[in-house]
Chains A and B, each alone.
Chain A
């Protein structure tokens, strides 16, 4: 991509090919001999990290599509079953789901790097615009991917985002109907989103090729912002950039693995473990964290069309950046004012992200408007102005000179730390809007399965199963758990024969038989726990209008507000037990008499921890209700703990495998990163 190559293979077969299709020469000139500025810092490795992430997302996505069913009635279940039944399905899904977040995190760092070092300036305008196009495509792809699991957030995200187009004057409604393929978000919408979600990553890959082509024509920018002039300024891509990128990628994978193996639901939303329900909107709907700043801009403008225009404008304005910033000096390193405003802009973006996750009321709205103004002012007022009034410091004459003058990596390290903290504030802020308002937070319990080495307490799982069977199963289904699961590793620890005997106690509907009739037979290990009601209507009719939810995912589908700064601490402590804490608290939280001043609606019961406190479920557990064979106390607190442990296992049967593999991956990646670091040092020993 950087002109004709002088590459000549020696192997005759390769020579033959090379004369007809000079692909080896292309690869050689692009990725081996390609001269790369010798002063690039680690922010430049995010290009390689992004390439890796695109590869990871396409690979895991293609695999997940092998097991996914794009149908409104089956999508949610197919995702759950692929996580439970497919070999390493949980791993692939975690990689793909948190991979989307990592992809966006990396692209934001990549974009901020371009912004800071002026990588959009002449002659790299087209390169930059291609990047903006990639970013837009990523947003579309990420949004449609989030719809596919067809949970509550998927459905309502799809509804809200497609409704953005209804703001278009005259044609709005028609456009939205066209997008939906119906009168509301439904199965046709899901089908086309799946199709497009499969297509767009390959479009991204195509634009990435153009992006790299443009990069290799213009040459890479560098921290000094001066063009490479002589050979002293550059080093060949391989081995210098490749080994540095490999080290960067390896470190990034460590960060990535933290989410895959230990915090798979940290960046997700508990509501998305509730199947899509077109009749109920979740109390607080928030987009994925990477859309939050734009969501905040949308909400800050009190006019539908203007809000939508503002939101898209916030992205489109990036494409005009090369002409908004006329400063001759590229790198903000030599622009004292631009440097300060850059960091202010970063903070504005992070704060907008934080606001996007807050309820749109009170101070948040005002702050959102101020920050929205700041966001646009940076591009439309500040940058054009700065180029006129700012007096830049002198830039080095050459890259080589910059390398020799280089002082320390301490600045970079402190920036890295600042960014990590800012990023976790930003990413975690989504949790703030996630749970309903509670006057009482559920007390944090001590769970044996918490933490990086957590394991289920087998006794607790077995007792919990007993509580479920004798109490909960009267009203609540457990439809994603098969009897065979009881004998699987990491579960309650029953033998295959015990699980088969357990299954045989149940009557399972089967058929039709040869006469065309349905019949009942004893359960087999392959059968799933039968649900207590044949359909939702029957469940409602039997329970005063409230449908007892299926418990398979309840510990992942419930959460509560953690608040600032707990959600940041949670990232480091790997706290993931909001759901179990909440479920146990609700089971313990029934009170006979509501506090004075609280009017309990007809047919409801007072619960201290249930949102709104009026729960339709009567107090399910009482002391001595279930007999334990192992001498554990027959108390409500113990029942609640055991059944919650059991339900946590039901929600994630492979949790132990996840944490075990996580440890192995961490040991490996630390070793690899260490080796790559020293290899990189050796390779670069003479270049610094």
Chain B
């Protein structure tokens, strides 16, 4: 018997329900009064989890009435596979339709075309930023810190043994070669998304006021609950004093 085990996840009405109902129909025909059908391949209870309404044990009201019941008679034994194929095909097509319907309903939640267009690369002029200063610009709604690091900050960042860091990365790998004084990081704490404050904390870098994470002058995590370094956004130097972020 291929009994459809009911599960707790009841489906609501709508397209998804079609498949469920169809799936549930099959076992009816394998029910108590029906001719036992040849197996339709492995159909363990787990595999039939799409069924919302179990019918096991419940003999339909009209089932006992000869000729008017739902039970198929010997004729079905002659072509059992053809009928099975029809039910499986209908269920499969309905399932494909339900899945295809879900796609646009989910896809609409992705950023729309105007948001994507607004997320185009931006150019930032570095000339006004004096040594030791930093600025915050927004790209795709995220704050980007651009720090003009002092010699001291660079030296501090490079003198730390990389292996001792929670998220090991060299300072060189986090800046562009030849532009070592410029640190460009996304100013979002990798713990839970707060904005760290620049020039605070014990490492001459960033301090997150929410939960006390501290980043060094290379934007690497040094202390606190944050698991990773401040990420470096994609950027390139258009000229010595201009970068393009994105």
CB proximity to A under 8 Å, residues B1-28: 3, 5-8, 10, 12-15, 18, 21-22, 24-25, 28
Given contacts A238-B53, A246-B18, is CB(A33)–CB(B61) below 8 Å?
A: yes
B109 touches A66 (CB 8 A): yes
A678 touches B86 (CB 8 A): yes
B163 at the interface (CB under 8 A from A): no
Whole-angstrom distance from the CB of B126 to the nearest CB of chain A? 14
List the one stretch of A20-28, A187-195, A470-478 in contact with chain B.
A20-28
Given contacts A27-B10, A87-B112, A236-B61, is CB(A32)–CB(B104) below 8 Å?
A: no
B73 at the interface (CB under 8 A from A): yes
A360 at the interface (CB under 8 A from B): no
A679 to B92 Cα, complex, angstroms: 13
Which residues of chain B are near A31, meaning CB under 8 Å? 53
CB proximity to B under 8 Å, residues A69-91: 81-82, 84-89, 91
The proximity string for A residues 553-596 relative to B, scoring 1 for CB distances below 8 Å and 0 otherwise, is 00000000000000000000000000000000000000000000
Whole-angstrom distance from the CB of A96 to the nearest CB of chain B? 12
B110 touches A87 (CB 8 A): yes
Number of interface residues of A (CB under 8 A): 68
B97 touches A238 (CB 8 A): no
Residue among B55, B70, B93, B120 with the highest chain A CB neighbour number at 10 A: B70
A524 to B122 Cα, complex, angstroms: 11
A216 at the interface (CB under 8 A from B): no
A9 at the interface (CB under 8 A from B): yes
B60 touches A10 (CB 8 A): no
A232 at the interface (CB under 8 A from B): yes
The proximity string for A residues 335-350 relative to B, scoring 1 for CB distances below 8 Å and 0 otherwise, is 0000000000000000
Which residues of chain A are near B7, meaning CB under 8 Å? 11, 14
Which residues of chain B are near A91, meaning CB under 8 Å? 104
The answer, among B72, B109, B117, for a CB contact under 8 Å with A686, is: B72
A382 at the interface (CB under 8 A from B): no
B39 at the interface (CB under 8 A from A): no
A66 to B12 Cα, complex, angstroms: 22
B155 at the interface (CB under 8 A from A): no
Which residues of chain A are near B89, meaning CB under 8 Å? 675
B37 at the interface (CB under 8 A from A): no
Whole-angstrom distance from the CB of B237 to the nearest CB of chain A? 21
A9 touches B6 (CB 8 A): yes
B83 at the interface (CB under 8 A from A): yes
The proximity string for B residues 161-192 relative to A, scoring 1 for CB distances below 8 Å and 0 otherwise, is 00000000000000000000000000000000
List the one stretch of A49-57, A114-122, A278-286 in contact with chain B.
A49-57
Given contacts A24-B6, A238-B55, is CB(A88)–CB(B117) below 8 Å?
A: no
A32 touches B69 (CB 8 A): no
A555 to B28 Cα, complex, angstroms: 55
A59 to B106 Cα, complex, angstroms: 11
A7 at the interface (CB under 8 A from B): yes
B233 at the interface (CB under 8 A from A): no
A238 touches B25 (CB 8 A): yes
B87 touches A55 (CB 8 A): no
B25 touches A28 (CB 8 A): no
Which residues of chain B are near A682, meaning CB under 8 Å? 83, 86-87
B153 at the interface (CB under 8 A from A): no
CB proximity to A under 8 Å, residues B81-104: 83, 86-87, 89-90, 93-94, 96-97, 100, 104
B150 at the interface (CB under 8 A from A): no
A234 touches B61 (CB 8 A): yes
A239 to B69 Cα, complex, angstroms: 12
B114 at the interface (CB under 8 A from A): yes
A420 to B169 Cα, complex, angstroms: 71
A232 touches B108 (CB 8 A): no
B127 at the interface (CB under 8 A from A): no
A231 to B60 Cα, complex, angstroms: 10
* Chain A binding surface SS class: helix
A524 to B68 Cα, complex, angstroms: 72
User: Chain A residue with minimal CB distance to B14?
Assistant: A55
Whole-angstrom distance from the CB of A215 to the nearest CB of chain B? 15
CB proximity to B under 8 Å, residues A404-425: none
B57 at the interface (CB under 8 A from A): yes
The proximity string for A residues 342-386 relative to B, scoring 1 for CB distances below 8 Å and 0 otherwise, is 000000000000000000000000000000000000000000000
Which residues of chain A are near B87, meaning CB under 8 Å? 679, 682
B10 touches A28 (CB 8 A): no
The proximity string for A residues 144-173 relative to B, scoring 1 for CB distances below 8 Å and 0 otherwise, is 000000000000000000000000000000
Which residues of chain A are near B24, meaning CB under 8 Å? 32, 238-239
A52 to B101 Cα, complex, angstroms: 14
The proximity string for A residues 661-688 relative to B, scoring 1 for CB distances below 8 Å and 0 otherwise, is 0000000110110011011001101110
Whole-angstrom distance from the CB of B79 to the nearest CB of chain A? 10
A38 to B120 Cα, complex, angstroms: 62
Which residues of chain B are near A84, meaning CB under 8 Å? 113
Given contacts A27-B10, A56-B14, A87-B108, is CB(A232)–CB(B68) below 8 Å?
A: yes
Given contacts A24-B54, A87-B104, is CB(A10)–CB(B117) below 8 Å?
A: no
Which residues of chain B are near A9, meaning CB under 8 Å? 5-6, 54
Given contacts A88-B107, A92-B104, A239-B25, is CB(A675)–CB(B93) below 8 Å?
A: yes
Which residues of chain B are near A638, meaning CB under 8 Å? none
A478 to B197 Cα, complex, angstroms: 44
Which residues of chain B are near A128, meaning CB under 8 Å? none
B83 touches A59 (CB 8 A): no
B146 at the interface (CB under 8 A from A): no
Which residues of chain B are near A7, meaning CB under 8 Å? 54, 57-58
A8 at the interface (CB under 8 A from B): yes
B223 at the interface (CB under 8 A from A): no
B90 touches A676 (CB 8 A): yes
User: Chain B residue with minimal CB distance to A683?
Assistant: B25
Whole-angstrom distance from the CB of A155 to the nearest CB of chain B? 26
Which residues of chain A are near B21, meaning CB under 8 Å? 238-239, 242-243, 246
User: Chain A residue with minimal CB distance to B21?
Assistant: A242
B36 at the interface (CB under 8 A from A): no
Which residues of chain A are near B94, meaning CB under 8 Å? 246, 672, 676
Residue among A6, A17, A239, A400 with the highest chain B CB neighbour number at 10 A: A239
Which residues of chain A are near B131, meaning CB under 8 Å? none
Given contacts A14-B6, A52-B13, A242-B21, is CB(A526)–CB(B120) below 8 Å?
A: yes
B71 at the interface (CB under 8 A from A): yes
A236 to B64 Cα, complex, angstroms: 12
Whole-angstrom distance from the CB of B101 to the nearest CB of chain A? 10
B65 at the interface (CB under 8 A from A): yes
Which residues of chain A are near B68, meaning CB under 8 Å? 38, 232, 400, 686-687
The proximity string for A residues 483-502 relative to B, scoring 1 for CB distances below 8 Å and 0 otherwise, is 01000100000000000000
The proximity string for A residues 40-66 relative to B, scoring 1 for CB distances below 8 Å and 0 otherwise, is 000000000001100110010001001
A526 touches B118 (CB 8 A): yes
A31 to B13 Cα, complex, angstroms: 11
Q: Given A14-B8, A28-B55, list of 16 further CB < 8 A pairs?
A: A10-B57, A24-B53, A28-B53, A28-B58, A32-B24, A63-B105, A87-B107, A231-B62, A231-B64, A238-B24, A246-B94, A482-B114, A668-B97, A682-B83, A686-B67, A686-B70
* 12 A-B residue pairs with CB within 8 Å: A9-B5, A27-B10, A27-B52, A28-B6, A85-B112, A86-B113, A88-B108, A236-B60, A238-B21, A672-B97, A682-B86, A686-B69
In the complex, the 5 A-B pairs of residues with the closest C-beta atoms, listed nearest first: A88-B104, A526-B117, A239-B25, A236-B60, A85-B112
